[in-house]
Amino acid sequence: MNLIPPAYAQAEQAPAVPTPPSPPVPTPPAPAAPGPAPSAVPAPAAPNAAGQGSSVQKPPGAGAPPTLPDMFTQLAPIFIILAIVYIIIWRPQQRRSKEQKDMLKNVRRGDTIVTSGGIVGKVSRTIDDAEVEVEIAQNVRVRVLRQMVVEVRAKGEPVKDAAPSSKS
């Protein structure tokens, strides 16, 4: 598949040969119109030997790779957007996740909890690190995974450790 026309490709590959300037093309005088004097409009450039107009010029360094300050200028908006996303989304989500883990770790006997299914009950005992036993009605106890606890509504009384004997 040839994307570059053959004449253009040959002109790009051929060494630059100075071409003699073409004579200016005379333009017929415009009829005089009443009003302000017409401004001088340059005539369109005549095509050179390669068939291209001399008005097409490449800016200096057009084929050069971008310099380091140019790359920083282009990448700055991307870094700013990433910083905003981090501040608005990621950081608060990590904080909520940490708070949820701490809450689940601190669930103990006597706490009133709400499960993800909407069941409200009181923790009667902790079975292990993954499960708790919840009393949802009088003498009705169910085992619930700690991960299914959504909210701790009321903290129960702390469990009293065995009282040290005062025998001396």
Q: What is the 3-state secondary structure (H, E, C) of the chain?
A: CCCCCHHHHHHHHCCCCCCCCCCCCCCCCCCCCCCCCCCCCCCCCCECCCCCECCCCCCCCCCCCCCHHHHHHHHHHHHHHHHHHHHHHHHHHHHHHHHHHHHHHCCCCCCEEEECCCCEEEEEEECCCCEEEEEEECCEEEEEEHHHEEEEEECCCCCCCCCCCCCC
Report the pLDDT averaged over residues 35-39.
55
The per-residue pLDDT for 85 is: 92
Which is higher by pLDDT, 57 or 13?
57
Q: Confidence band (pLDDT; 50, 70, 90) for 51? A: low
Per-residue pLDDT of 74-94, as tens digits, reads 899 999 999 999 999 999 999
Q: Confidence band (pLDDT; 50, 70, 90) for 142? A: very high
